Chain A
Amino acid sequence: QKEVEQNSGPLSVPEGAIASLNCTYSDRGSQSFFWYRQYSGKSPELIMSIYSNGDKEDGRFTAQLNKASQYVSLLIRDSQPSDSATYLCAVKPNQGGKLIFGQGTELSVKP
């Protein structure tokens, strides 16, 4: 079982819709969770961090964390074509300073 799992996609949504990206992790002691956005040919860019159960909102982005279910998600409201990218979920395990990255979900927002 992979330590951090994401659906590879591609996930296709129409412009203006809500895009829902999901991630599960295996280390129950994990404490920090991150979402990165990566445009084709570019490096990953941190867009959200979440550390406690519940929702965290930042503009059109909402991160949701459920530690009991070992599940973290990213919602993108009012999706725009400029949101088309690969979204990487990253988890900091209980020990050490490394992050464990998922394989990423490719999102395509159609005009």
Chain B
Amino acid sequence: DVKVTQSSRYLVKRTGEKVFLECVQDMDHENMFWYRQDPGLGLRLIYFSYDVKMKEKGDIPEGYSVSREKKERFSLILESASTNQTSMYLCASSHPGVAGAFYNEQFFGPGTRLTVL
């Protein structure tokens, strides 16, 4: 089974703190994603990565950065946390599939509920 783990289930931080959210997957997936989920707004893609050292902005990258130094690990960084970044953060990974195959099923970690005070 695919296993995606996230460093914390619950996190409370102060405004202005630098926050690191870690995600690790054990299935050798090339693709990794960070989302946030808020009531009424659905899943919103923050950043994603198709390979080590590679990153792409999603729909809402402002206020966030990412790091992917190893294939299995994808970190989300809040440079200076603000109250509007209080949310559920979800990491996911997927295999891109081979040519002619369409897969790309994403598997999610358990999520980190971040509260910024």
Which segment of B13-21, B66-74, B79-87, B99-107 sits at the interface? B99-107
Q: How many A-B residue pairs have CB under 8 A?
A: 46
> Which A residues lie at the B interface, using CB under 8 A?
31-32, 34, 36, 42-46, 49, 51, 88, 90, 92, 97-99, 101-104
B48 neighbours in A (Cβ, 8 Å): 97-98
Min Cβ gap B89→A in Å is 10
Min Cβ gap B99→A in Å is 13
Number of interface residues of B (CB under 8 A): 21
A101 neighbours in B (Cβ, 8 Å): 42-43
B110 neighbours in A (Cβ, 8 Å): 42-43
Contact of B42 with A99 in the complex, beta carbons under 8 Å:
no
User: Other than the known A32-B105, A45-B108, what 11 A-B pairs have Cβ atoms closer than 8 Å?
Assistant: A34-B105, A42-B111, A43-B90, A43-B110, A44-B90, A46-B107, A97-B48, A97-B50, A97-B94, A102-B42, A103-B42
A90 neighbours in B (Cβ, 8 Å): 106
